[in-house]
Amino acid sequence: MKSITVTVNGVAHGPSAVRDDLSMNDFLREYLGVTGVKFGCGVGQCLSCAIIVDNADGASETSPTCIVPAASFDGKAIRTVEGHAKGGELSALQRAFINHFAFQCGYCTAGFLNEAQVLLERLARTPIARADLERTIAEALDGHLCRCTGYVKYHEAVRDVVLADSALYLRKGSP
Ligand code: FES
Ligand code: FES
């Protein structure tokens, strides 16, 4: 057993006693009731279970939760799909996903949303050339599986959000 404290969407939880082999997915869903985190393949292959980890240096990254022990998140701050809307307002990405009818069953959506949010935060820190945008989006979303095959619509939704705020995400004067 280990005692862990994790900040989820800005709220500290714990200390909680967890088994060493308890997955982060089970911790979030069963201990904290954060059911927006999905469980798909369970073996690190689909990323429907991906969450955002906020690192101490200010950068963010995604992590699967099905194959990672909850104990390894002790002291960390994470975000889930429940944390994207603010004050009852959907985020720009959430609105774009809806506008593009990007999802059908929605099982993969939280993972795509978290990955796209991490991409936006990376581009805000380090803008890219417009010419690199399509490849950059494709590489960021690669690895997320959608059984309803909404890949193109997810891609288009993310592109829309970037282009709507191009001064923030794209290098000025770049082709
Ligand atoms: S459920 Fe975690 S990668 Fe598929
Ligand atoms: S919308 Fe159904 S799995 Fe992606």
Rounded to two decimals, the pTM is 0.97
Distance CA 34, CA 8 (A): 9
Give which of 49, 47, 26 is closest to 37, Cα–Cα: 49
Phi, psi of 7 (to 5 degrees): -95, 120
* 42 Cα: distance to centroid of ligand 1 (angstroms): 5
Residue 161: enclosing H or E segment and its boundaries?
helix 151-164
For 10, residues 6+ apart whose C-beta sits below 8 A from its C-beta are 77, 83
- pLDDT tens digits along 1-45: 999 999 999 999 999 999 999 999 999 999 999 999 999 999 999
Q: Which residues pair with 116 in a beta bridge?
A: none
- pLDDT tens digits along 77-130: 999 999 999 999 999 999 999 999 999 999 999 999 999 999 999 999 999 999
| 103 & 131 share domain | yes
Q: Ligand 1 pocket check: which of 26, 29, 46, 147 to mutate, most ligand atoms within 8 Å of Cβ? A: 46
Distance CA 123, CA 132 (A): 11
Structural domain that includes position 15: 2-83
User: Does a structural domain hold residue 175?
Assistant: no
| 74 & 108 share domain | no
| 57 & 111 share domain | no
pLDDT tier at 172, thresholds 50, 70, 90: confident
| 96 & 66 share domain | no
Number of domains making up the chain: 2
Out of 53, 83, 113, a domain closes at 83
* 142 Cα: distance to centroid of ligand 2 (angstroms): 15
Out of 83, 109, 132, a domain closes at 83
* 50 Cα: distance to centroid of ligand 1 (angstroms): 7
Q: Which residues pair with 54 in a beta bridge?
A: 60, 77
